[in-house]
Amino acid sequence: MTAETAAALETEASLTRPDAATLRRAYLLMRTADEMARLYEENKAVTARYVHATARGHEAIQLAAACFLGPQDYAAPYYRDDAMLLGMGLQPYELMLQLMAKRDDPFSGGRTYYSHPSLRRAGFPTIPHQSSATGMQAIPATGVAHGMKYLEGIKDEGLRTKDEGVEAGRLIAQSEGLFQQLAKNLSSLILNPSSFIHNPLVLCSIGDGAMTEGEVAEALQMAVLHQLPIIYLVQDNDWGISATGREMRSMDAYEFAAGFKGLHRLQFDGADFLASYAGMQQAAAYVRQRRGPVLVHAKCPLLGHHTSGVRREWYRGDNLAQHTLQDPLPRFHQQLLELGFGEEELQQLAAQARTTVQQDYERALAAPNPDPATFQDHEFAPPAVTEEAGERSPAGADKALMVDAALHAVDDILREFPEALFYGQDVGGELGGVFREAALLAKKYGDARVFNTPIQEAYIVGSTAGMSAVGAKPIVEIQFADYIWPGLNQLVEELSKSCYLSNGQFPVQSLIRVPVGAYGGGGPYHSGSVESTLLTIRGIKVVYPSNAADMKGLLRAAFLDPNPVVLLEHKGLYWSKVPGTEDAKTVEPAAGYVLPLGRAAVAQVAAAEKLASGETCVVITYGMGVHWAKTASRQLPGQVEILDLRTLNPLDWEAVQAAVRRHGKALVLTEEPLLNSFAESLAGRIQRHCFRQLDAPVFTLGAANLPAIALNVELEKQMLPNPDKVLTALQELLGW
């Protein structure tokens, strides 16, 4: 007998059948879900104002899954999981508040779709925000499990480095909250509370059609690589929207999962409550015993519409009649009769469900709508750092390269904050990043904290949403800015919207480091600038330091900020080897130095006498632009102020306006291709708001409008700005 077989037998031996109270409550909730779907259809003129889907056909597996979730657990339901939410203890009234986008919708305050929950509530599983859950949710949910496993390591073993320890008391106190919920308010749950005195787990619910998403494969890969405590519950009804399984896939989820070595698989009838209960009990036991991740494949009929906006009569034909034969409600009704329940009792439960749903619907109809004045609330959580603090220029300190300042800032954070992790491609092990920006950190803090990922930008970015939800604090790296594009789906849909759509419940604390910019022959896939694309994403912050001191202070502030922050780090400034970038090397601030986001700095002051005589201008720029402007302005002594933005979002608009009004002439300088860029947008904003103070048009300068940077260094020079091009622009501007 193999060890795996023995473990499976041990798990099966510990399984218990649902008791009478569990069966009774499950039937009541199955009836409740059915009544909700019926009522929504009967009142579709009201309920279909906003798109929704229901659980019809999926109730059995969803209620069975809810049986094995406790307050210490995390869940990622998908848009059809309203029966699962009922099983967790939510009331029809609460779901209807979301259905009608009402003010008191407990998940989003009327901001997001039905059955798109976000919940932090004592006695309930935690449900972090997620997008519309068509595959993307697998990565944040896996990030929750990843963070959970890491925090368990803190609790159980304490965190140790090669050369120094961390205070165990503070360490355990910070992670204890994850485990303390476990005994709270269990009486409202279906299953016997004693079953929850175990390790927490994550349940990620997903439709089979979404299993074809590439991001799902990334999540499964990391789950098996790190043996994470997660159940992937695949509800397979053989439909996408109007596409059948036969059209969408060459294999079902159970067959697909066989390719992930170390992923335990279970398969059963998701329309049979008793079979689903036994299967989910086995899955939960397996994960709680920390034997690794599980994929559950549960076949279900689709009895309702795909959504209220895509009605079944448009495309289902005879298929609907076939699916109706598998309806879980009459099947469960018959099973209960065979188990000794009386017909009268079951009818009473059905009547109770009908009454509750009708009353809750009437209450929800009368509930107030959101106050329109609150529409802007919760774009960001309040910043943690609002003032500069610490020593920027300690006496006797040596100058540091920008790359070393970044390394030291991360080192300080890992030493001070045991909940912090650092991961990405090639940042772990011996290399410590292709730019050595994480050199030796893995050896110092261990592979559980500083580690390599596969080539999976989506996972690197999206997992931080899950990490943040569970209390871990991730720092991650995209190897080059040109590689960030596969991660944008997660950045836009999961990270940027989380705080706003969860009504402030789930801001995502995420620091994403991105080496950016050209540095002499890097070519088309290692030289790109991406800030304008990032700045069209609302709900994230974008930071761009130009020197070592700012790098250290801004990196720490970005880590402490409770929101997603992308830190752009120009590769050409890392070592100050590019001519004219010597000023990027500065005295290194002391450990703990912090610089608030959203504060620009005057990197070079114009001479007072030149300003008084109207002979000056301001260059508004960031990153490499600061150094191009400094070099160019040597030919124009005293005539050029340089405003280093340092943070592009939030923008220090007050500093920009003040500088423009001070000089009356402005050049906005960027390394990006100029057309439709952040620089052009800022120039337009300046023209609109500072028009009366301008003595010349706002000038802009950037790279040529080409799709990529050529490998040949002479071609690169032709495309990019440089000090000579900046000087020409400044001379023209000052000549107005």
Cβ contacts of residue 579 below 8 Å, gap of 6+? none
Q: Across the chain, what does the average pLDDT equal? A: 90
Q: Specify the 3-state DSSP secondary structure of 684.
A: helix
**Where residue 544 falls among pLDDT bands split at 50, 70, 90?**
very high
pLDDT over threshold 60, residue 197:
no
Are 390 and 593 a contacting pair, CB within 8 Å? yes
**H-run or E-run covering 456:** none
The C-alpha angle with vertex 639 and arms to 637 and 640, in degrees rounded to 5, equals 100
Q: Does residue 168 register a pLDDT over 70?
A: no
Q: Measure Cα distances from 432 to 441, 448, 467 in Å.
A: 7, 14, 22
Supply 72's token pair. 């210490």
How buried is residue 260: exposed, middle or buried, by Cβ count under 10 Å (0-12/13-18/19+)?
Answer: middle
pLDDT bracket for residue 179 (50, 70, 90): very low
| Three-state DSSP state, 282 | helix
CATH number of 22-161+195-366: 3.40.50.970
Secondary structure of residue 13 in the 3-state scheme: helix
Residue in the block written with tokens 């779709």: 113
For 81-105, what is each residue's pLDDT tens digit? 999 999 999 999 999 999 999 999 9
- Of 319 and 156, more confident: 319
For the domain made up of 601-735, give the CATH fold.
Rossmann fold (3.40.50)
Q: Output the pLDDT for position 176.
A: 45
Distance separating alpha carbons of residues 166 and 170, to the nearest angstrom:
9
Q: Could you tell me which residue, 179 or 241, shows the higher pLDDT?
A: 241
Domain with CATH 3.40.50.920 in the chain: 601-735
pLDDT, one tens digit per residue, over 18-29 is 999 999 999 999
At residue 157, does pLDDT exceed 80?
A: no
Least confident of 60-64, 109-113, 292-296, 316-320: 316-320
CB 600 within 8 A of CB 649: no
Three-state secondary structure call for residue 217: helix
- Burial grade of 137 (CB within 10 A; 0-12, 13-18, 19 or more): buried
CA angle centred on 24, ends 20 and 25, rounded to 5°:
120
Instruction: Indicate whether 193 pLDDT > 60.
Output: no
Alpha-carbon gap, residue 682 to 672, rounded angstroms:
13
Q: Which residues are catalytic?
A: 526
Q: Examine the pLDDT at 31 and tell me if it is beyond 70.
A: yes
Q: What is the SS3 assignment for 559?
A: helix
pLDDT tens by residue, 710-720:
999 999 999 99
Q: Which two tokens stand for residue 301?
A: 């009929």
Rounded CA-CA distance 453/435 in Å is 17
Using an 8 Å Cβ cutoff, are 274 and 18 in contact? yes
Q: Is the peptide bond before 650 cis (omega within 30 degrees of 0)?
A: yes
Q: Does the structure show a pLDDT above 70 at 217?
A: yes
pLDDT value of residue 659: 98
Q: Domain 399-587 class?
A: alpha beta
What percent of the chain has a predicted confidence (pLDDT) above 90? 79
Q: Which amino acid is at 183?
A: A
Query: For residue 383, what are the contacts with CB-CB under 8 A and spacing of at least 6?
Result: 557, 561, 562, 563, 596, 597, 598
> pLDDT grade, residue 10 (50/70/90)?
low
Tokens 């994960």 belong to which residue? 287
User: What pTM was computed for the model?
Assistant: 0.92
How far is residue 181's CA from residue 188's CA, in Å, rounded to a whole number? 14
- pLDDT per position as a tens digit, 272-300: 999 999 999 999 999 999 889 999 999 99
CA dist 58 and 45 (Å) reads 25
CB 643 within 8 A of CB 631: no
Asked if residue 442 has pLDDT above 60, the reply is yes
Residue written as tokens 């109706």?
A: 324
CA atoms of 332 and 341, how far apart (whole Å): 11
More confident residue, 167 or 614: 614
Phi then psi for 234, rounded to 5 degrees? Answer: -100, 115
217-227 average pLDDT score? 96
What's the gap between Cα 438 and its chain centre? 23
- Are 271 and 57 in contact, with CB atoms under 8 Å apart? yes
pLDDT tens-digit readout, 365-394: 999 999 999 999 999 999 999 999 999 999
Contact 544, 598 (CB under 8 A): no
Rounded to 5°, angle at Cα 26 from 197 and 234:
75
Is residue 509 within 8 A of residue 472, CB to CB? The reply is no
Please list the residue range(s) of the chain that carry CATH number 3.40.50.970. Answer: 22-161+195-366, 399-587
